[in-house]
């Protein structure tokens, strides 16, 4: 796969960028021995919800509408700054330990600055935004804020966090869905995305019944509505896109927008799965994401890669999703979705030093006869990740997080989860 995928030889990073690929350097300040390992670009997840990690296991066995209405939205409303910080720290730790170095996330309507704090401290690259919701959505029955409140939250975050941590962090503009925001707010966000150089990030056509219900609203189906707002374009990243009709597919093909495929979440919520082989064939950029721990219930990019490679084959044929295609979705496809393809997503001189080192000596990876891409997509696991580098900084080494205390993260998350579900009125989760 060359420098875009699995690398052979040595990498040398300086000032946060890959300076040399090839022969080992003798003057490095810090050395990671990747002998016998698979060395790949840091994985990119283009759809996640850091704020939902504390909800793991309390919203199972529901479709997405009841999941949102009865569990996730009440829990999100019960968040306070401490619980957001604990949830985001838990999520970022899990992402980094599993080899994900970059993420695009939608949080809840309040306290998003604490998600940024967790990302800053633990060392992940991230584009993060609050869920913007100034319109009542039929079905889910959610509305979160006034238009003025939504605008103020975005403006405040842009001032403090856009380009923070040496450019490692940025603000994403995240209207929760095409009908969660008024057309006026959508159009303001579209203009702001150009002015401030931000990504637009939303959900689209996730659940069939909900998509058909919302199609009866003014503006038509999800992508018809997005087109009317002027939102369909290369800055837009849409999670799911499971139930697009042919007219929406035409709009997608012409738009340059990215789709984030979330196979685990779509299966668990009984939503189905997007026609990804067709999207790829039609030239649509497709990225991968775990979505949130409330609907997955993990943030493991290896699980998403394996599922993405397998679930389409019975319908589209055994060659529909080669491992190389899926690995690209999890790296360069994600980088394109984030607008960072010139900075991350492949191992090339001049790009940011975001690197994942995967041990390849497990029984489940032996013998090593297949291609490197196939070994990663079909055989490897998050627990095989040995080292992770973000912006030239080693954040995971020997399978251990270096930027925070894992024991503290776990205990604080457990404590805050108990307080959170009590505030939401659900009582304590089952600790059996």
Which stretches of 230-330 are DSSP H helices? 246-255, 263-268, 276-281, 301-310, 313-316, 323-328
Average pLDDT, the chain: 94
Residue 432 scores a pLDDT above 70: no
- State residue 156's pLDDT score: 98
Q: Tell me whether residue 414 is in a domain.
A: no
Residue 8 scores a pLDDT above 90: no
Helix/strand/coil for 24: coil
Q: Which residues pair with 131 in a beta bridge?
A: 174
Q: Residue 219's domain spans which residues?
A: 43-348
User: Over the stretch 80-96, which tens digit does the pLDDT of each residue have?
Assistant: 999 999 999 999 999 99
Q: For residues 201-216, give the mean pLDDT.
A: 91
- State residue 95's pLDDT score: 98
Residue 429 scores a pLDDT above 80: no
Instruction: List the one residue out of 58, 49, 57, 41 whose CA is nearest residue 239.
Output: 49
User: Contact 375/368 with Cβ under 8 angstroms?
Assistant: yes
Q: Tell me whether residue 108 is in a domain.
A: yes
Q: Tell me whether residue 391 is in a domain.
A: no
In whole angstroms, what is the distance from residue 358 CA to residue 376 CA?
8
Confidence of residue 210 (pLDDT cuts 50, 70, 90): confident
Q: Tell me whether residue 397 is in a domain.
A: no
Residue 401 scores a pLDDT above 60: yes
Q: Tell me whether residue 103 is in a domain.
A: yes
Residue 23 scores a pLDDT above 80: no
Q: For residues 310-328, give the mean pLDDT.
A: 97
Eight-class DSSP state of 130: P
More confident residue, 251 or 139: 251
Domain count for the chain, please give it.
Answer: 1
CB atoms within 10 A of CB 314: 9
Token representation of residue 195:
């002015």
CB atoms within 10 A of CB 77: 14
Q: Tell me whether residue 8 is in a domain.
A: no
Confidence of residue 427 (pLDDT cuts 50, 70, 90): low
- State residue 6's pLDDT score: 63
Q: Tell me whether residue 343 is in a domain.
A: yes
CA 176 to chain centre: 14
Q: Which residues pair with 389 in a beta bridge?
A: 355, 394
Q: For residues 60-68, give the mean pLDDT.
A: 90
In whole angstroms, what is the distance from residue 107 CA to residue 48 CA?
8
Confidence of residue 1 (pLDDT cuts 50, 70, 90): very low
Which stretches of 41-197 are DSSP H helices? 64-66, 73-78, 81-97, 112-122, 147-161, 183-196
- State residue 7's pLDDT score: 58
Provide the whole-model pTM.
Answer: 0.96
CATH code, 248: 3.20.20.140
User: Over the stretch 355-380, which tens digit does the pLDDT of each residue have?
Assistant: 999 999 999 999 988 899 999 999 99
- State residue 140's pLDDT score: 80
- State residue 2's pLDDT score: 37
Q: Tell me whether residue 416 is in a domain.
A: no
User: Contact 310/261 with Cβ under 8 angstroms?
Assistant: no
Confidence of residue 24 (pLDDT cuts 50, 70, 90): confident
- State residue 428's pLDDT score: 52
């Amino acid at each position: 796969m060359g420098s875009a995928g699995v690398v052979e030889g040595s990498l040398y990073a300086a000032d946060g960028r890959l300076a040399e690929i090839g022969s080992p350097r003798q003057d490095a300040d810090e050395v990671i021995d990747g002998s016998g390992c698979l060395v790949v670009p840091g994985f990119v997840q283009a759809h996640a919800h850091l704020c939902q990690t504390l909800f793991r296991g309390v919203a199972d066995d529901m479709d997405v509408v009841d999941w949102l209405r009865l569990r996730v939205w009440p829990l999100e409303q019960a968040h306070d700054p401490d619980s957001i910080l604990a949830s985001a720290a838990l999520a970022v730790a899990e992402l980094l330990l599993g080899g994900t170095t970059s993420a695009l996330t939608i949080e809840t309507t309040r306290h998003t600055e604490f998600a940024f704090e967790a990302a800053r401290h633990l060392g992940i690259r991230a584009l993060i935004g609050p869920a913007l919701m100034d319109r009542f959505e039929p079905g889910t029955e959610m509305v979160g804020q006034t238009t003025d409140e939504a605008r103020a939250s975005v403006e405040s975050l842009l001032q403090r966090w856009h380009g923070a941590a040496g450019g490692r962090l940025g603000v994403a503009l995240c209207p929760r869905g095409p009908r969660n925001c008024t057309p006026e707010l959508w159009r303001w966000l579209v203009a702001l995305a150009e002015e401030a150089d931000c990504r637009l990030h939303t959900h689209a056509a996730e659940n069939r019944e909900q998509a058909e219900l919302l199609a009866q609203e003014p503006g038509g189906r999800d992508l018809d509505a997005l087109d009317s707002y002027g939102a369909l374009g290369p800055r837009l990243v849409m999670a799911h896109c499971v139930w697009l009709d042919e007219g929406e597919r035409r709009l997608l093909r012409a738009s340059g927008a990215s789709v984030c495929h979330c196979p685990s979440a779509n299966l668990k919520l009984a939503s189905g799965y997007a026609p990804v082989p067709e999207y790829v064939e039609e030239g649509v950029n497709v990225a991968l994401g775990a979505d949130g721990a409330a609907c997955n219930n993990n943030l493991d990019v290896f699980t998403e890669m394996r599922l993405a490679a397998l679930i389409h084959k019975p319908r589209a044929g055994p060659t529909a999703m080669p491992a190389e295609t899926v690995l690209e979705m999890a790296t360069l496809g994600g980088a394109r979705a984030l607008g960072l393809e010139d900075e991350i997503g492949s191992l090339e001189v001049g790009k940011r030093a975001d690197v994942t080192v995967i041990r390849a000596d497990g029984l489940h990876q032996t013998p090593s006869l297949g291609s490197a891409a196939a070994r990663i997509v079909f055989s490897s696991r998050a627990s095989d990740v040995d080292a992770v580098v973000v912006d030239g900084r080693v954040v995971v080494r020997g399978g251990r997080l270096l930027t925070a205390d894992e024991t503290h993260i776990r205990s604080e998350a457990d404590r805050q989860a108990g307080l959170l579900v009590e505030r939401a009125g659900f009582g304590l989760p089952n600790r059996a």
